[in-house]
Amino acid sequence: MSTKTATDFISASEEKAFDLSHRKVINFNIDRYDQSVNHGLKRWNSLENAKRKAHSIKWRVMENLDKLLPEFESNFQKNGGKVIWANDVREAQEEILAILNRVHAKTVVKSKSMVTEEVELNSFLENHHIRSIETDLGEYIVQLLGQKPYHIVTPAMHLSLADIAQLFYERFGTAKEASAEELTAKARALLRNDYLQASVGITGANFLIADTGSIAITENEGNARLSTSFPKIHIAIVGIEKLIPSIQDLDLYWPLLANHGTGQNLTVYNTILSGPKKDEEHDGPEEMYVILLDNGRTDLLAQKEQRQGLYCIRCGACLNACPVYKNIGGHTYGTTYSGPIGSIITPHMKGMADFKHLSYASSLCGKCSEVCPVKIDIHKMLLLNRRDAVNQGQSSVTEKWGWKLFTKAIANRKWLDFFGGKFKNTILQRFFAKVWGPKRKLPTVSPTSFSKQWLEKDSRKL
């Protein structure tokens, strides 16, 4: 299974890396992102201190997760909400289905949520004859195409305006050259009635607030507010790592998320929800549930050196900075969380055997660690994953023997001199040509070793 997964990844990576139209769209969109973010980050008096504080708070959360989660649960229940604990994907799916079946729901509206992608909620509900409608514009577009989100923050980053216009023309009869404003207006008109008809709204949450028993949702379109206001039932499914200790911490995390995610000072809609509507209130759901999802997170928490991966606030900055992601794209990873952050958490959440190869999909340039707003040492985590894969015996026999021979040869000067350039070039051509791919030219190794060249140079001087 692991070989097939890794082989598919390499094959898809090679194909996407040389797709010039894909590269053009991604480079254009990421260039715009870089301009916005560079401008947004200038607003901080001391960005480095803010990132250190955010890291410190997240460290404290992970060290006290066993205390903060019950605190959140208790406070949320005091507000009239209900908390459900889900150990894995199956439990989360079944708990959601039980709620939907109880109210005979046939349609749900859903705001952007990577956790619902993680539990494959749309396909699960479809199999049970329940229509799940994505209301975030980017998610709505990729849902129409039958695709998964391409990016943590911008699901349709891989599509140009012309691509989306063509999609809307084929599906809804809009103009072939419709503007972004016209396409947005069409989507708004199509979705408006769905909010009114749906009996259940499903969201994620950017943060769980322990001291108030609330969830915080940040967005730019207002679709999450509509998804939580019109339906009679609101279900929020959230990873257990999304906790922050206090509502006051939003003063730090909301701007960091907005700046690194889109370059904004603050996203347009920022909502704090603390339970269902009260008796004296007119708006809001009659019932509100928060499903706390583990799904491998406690396994990662147990890894003391790598639990930093749980600090992530899903801003997407590391994806946009990564030279590998820019070349192979989000879909190539074959995982819910792509890019550098996905590469460090997926092997722990879905199995090292199947996903160890993601930790090798990196140049180790360190740019991902540099841009992270909570200072996750991402490129170090990638190396630790590689170490763990070796310690768990996940390396192939060929790889093990290759490193043994290399280690023996590199430690012995006579061996290095004996196996001259001709032999080395033969090894490169025979064993590395396929790995490097047909569109790369293999280097030619000098026929003599460096030590011999140095001795010859010195002898000529004499």
- Per-residue pLDDT tens for 307-323? 999 999 999 999 999 99
CA distance 103 to 121: 18
Over residues 91-126, the pLDDT tens digits come to 999 999 999 999 999 999 999 999 999 999 999 999
Map out the domains of the chain with their CATH numbers: 43-295 (3.40.50.10420), 398-461 (no CATH)
> Does residue 3 carry a pLDDT above 60?
no
Tokens read off for 181: 């404003």
Over residues 198-233, the pLDDT tens digits come to 999 999 999 999 999 999 999 999 999 999 999 999
Q: What is the CA radius of gyration of the chain?
A: 25
CA distance 318 to 371: 6
Least confident residue range of 179-188, 189-198, 411-420: 411-420
CA distance 408 to 427: 16
Residues 370-374, mean pLDDT to the nearest whole number: 97
Confidence (pTM): 0.90
Q: What is the DSSP string of 195-217?
A: HHH-SEEEE--SEEETTTTEEEE
Phi-psi region of 339 (alpha: psi -120 to 50; beta: other; left: phi over 0): left
Residue 322: per-residue pLDDT: 96
Give the DSSP letter of residue 430: I
